[in-house]
Amino acid sequence: MLWTAFNSSIPVQRSLRLSLSLTGAAALALANTPIQPVAAQEEDGSAADLGVMEINLKDAVRFNWGFQGALQGAGTPNQAGIGAFLPIAVGENSVFFADVLLNANFADYDGTSSIINTEVAGTTISTSTRLGYRWLNGDRSWMYGINAGYDSRPMNTGNADSGVTLYNKESAFFQQIAAGLEAVSDTWNFNAYALIPVGDTEQRLNVRYLGGALDTYGLDVGYFITPELNASVGYYYQQGDLDDADGSGVQVALDYQIADGLTLGVNVSYDEAFETRVSGNISYRFGSNSSAAETKKKAWQKPTIQALSESVKNRNIRVHDAVRGVNCYTGHQLDNDCRKCYSPGGFLTPPARKGTGGGFWYRSINIGPTLWPHGERIHCYGTGPEVGRPNPGGNYKSWIGWQTIPN
């Protein structure tokens, strides 16, 4: 596909530099270009006509808080929480701010994993903090911004989305640092971002899967169809989870402000790791200047002014899981049900019982590269009354299968 070919021809570093360069170049070029359609200019008037130049930002950019929620997406959970935008210092044409979110993360839909294989279980609390600086150009036709911050995401785990019971479920805790650039006019908006996991980025989720937080670098380009309706298209590159999730992706989004402070949105993304994911979101912010006089309110509602006090976008920690150190094979193929241990010639009878512990037994053996490409040690793992039975390939649903022993 187009983005796969693009990814294979350009290294990640060049992709990130290109995305950030395009944002800056496009914003600077558009800032000096009368890009708003003539009809729209005649209908809406110039910035001066609407009183934008007369706005005191200390009146327009104020503390606001509210609620937000989103459905699960590509590596992101069902969530809902509270957020606040805090102007720290408001100047004549600029604002230095803090933007904080606190979200409750809920369980995945039954049978559908947001991270590929393992269903996320609820409930945990994630955090996101941004410090940023935003400013207007001379005639206030463009708003520019830069921000950076830290995010955290605890995660509980459930069973496989296929319905297979997974044992030794573990909780995980992921962290990331993030940075972003913004450029907004009354017609166009650009958002470049980098999400970089830190700390323990790869963690065991259960007896079969490891989960990894993904590096994500992206650029979104949006167009205001009306001041209330924004459509955007984006490109992103993701890498992580021991390279299993590496690749490019695209997403399209539509956001509609249906009332003062109330916004609904829908997002559709596609990449080879997560394939197609559809998500929705909603937010409501108090302190939206709904009580302002109509003339002043119209000026305050221009996208460039509203963008000064909007919450920063793209701040979820994205997680992907894959088989690591635990695999089931049917000949050379994965046994996705992971309930039987057998080869093309029949069930693999494990060697004599070596020992028990923690409700399972094992015997380490060596498999050559013809069957197990890495020649790693494996064992057959079971729980329940069938523990120690000589044939793990029987109809014992509690048997998990042949698994590699982590080094």
Give residue 174's pLDDT band: very low, low, confident or very high (50, 70, 90). Answer: very high
**Helix/strand number for the chain, H first, E second:** 6, 25
Judge whether 105 and 123 are in contact, CB under 8 Å. yes
In terms of pLDDT, which residue wins out, 208 or 291?
208
C-alpha to C-alpha distances, 264 to 156, 255, 261, nearest whole angstrom:
28, 6, 10
> Phi/psi of residue 250, each to 5°?
-130, 155
- pLDDT of 398 reads 34
CB 379 within 8 A of CB 358: no
Q: How far from 290 is each of 163, 232, 296, 300, CA to CA, in Å?
A: 49, 26, 10, 10
- Is pLDDT above 90 for 206? no
Only one residue has tokens 């706005």, namely: 55
**CB count, 10 Å around CB of 175?**
17
Question: What is the pLDDT confidence band of residue 157, given thresholds at 50, 70 and 90?
Answer: very high
Grade residue 207 by pLDDT with cuts at 50, 70 and 90: confident
- Residue 239's closest CA among 12, 1, 15, 48? 12
One-character DSSP codes across 99-149 = EEEEEEEEPPPTT--TTSSEEEES-EEEEEEEEEEEEE-TTSSEEEEEEEE
How far from 289 is each of 45, 298, 359, 385, CA to CA, in Å? 22, 10, 62, 66
pLDDT band for position 44 (cuts 50, 70, 90): very low
- Quote the CA–CA distance of 162 and 211 in Å, as a whole number: 17
* C-alpha span between 285 and 59 (Å, rounded): 17
Contacts of 318 (CB under 8 A, 6+ apart): 74, 75, 76, 195, 213, 214, 216, 238
Q: What pLDDT is attached to residue 63?
A: 95
pTM of the model: 0.71
Domains with residue ranges and CATH for the chain: 2-323 (2.40.160.160), 329-404 (no CATH)
More confident residue, 84 or 330: 84
* Range with top average pLDDT, 32-36, 53-57, 220-224: 220-224
Cα–Cα distance for residue pair 86/95, rounded to 1 Å: 10
pLDDT band at 40 (very low <50, low <70, confident <90, very high): very low
Q: Which of 52-66, 97-111, 267-281 is the least confident region?
A: 52-66
Judge whether residue 304 has pLDDT over 80. Answer: yes
Q: What is the pLDDT of residues 338-384, one digit of tens each?
A: 333 333 333 333 333 333 333 233 333 333 333 333 333 344 444 43
**Residue 124, pLDDT above cutoff 60:** yes
State the pLDDT at residue 299. Answer: 66
Half-sphere exposure of 273 toward its Cβ, with a 13 Å CA cutoff? 29
Q: Regarding predicted confidence, which is higher, 297 or 11?
A: 297
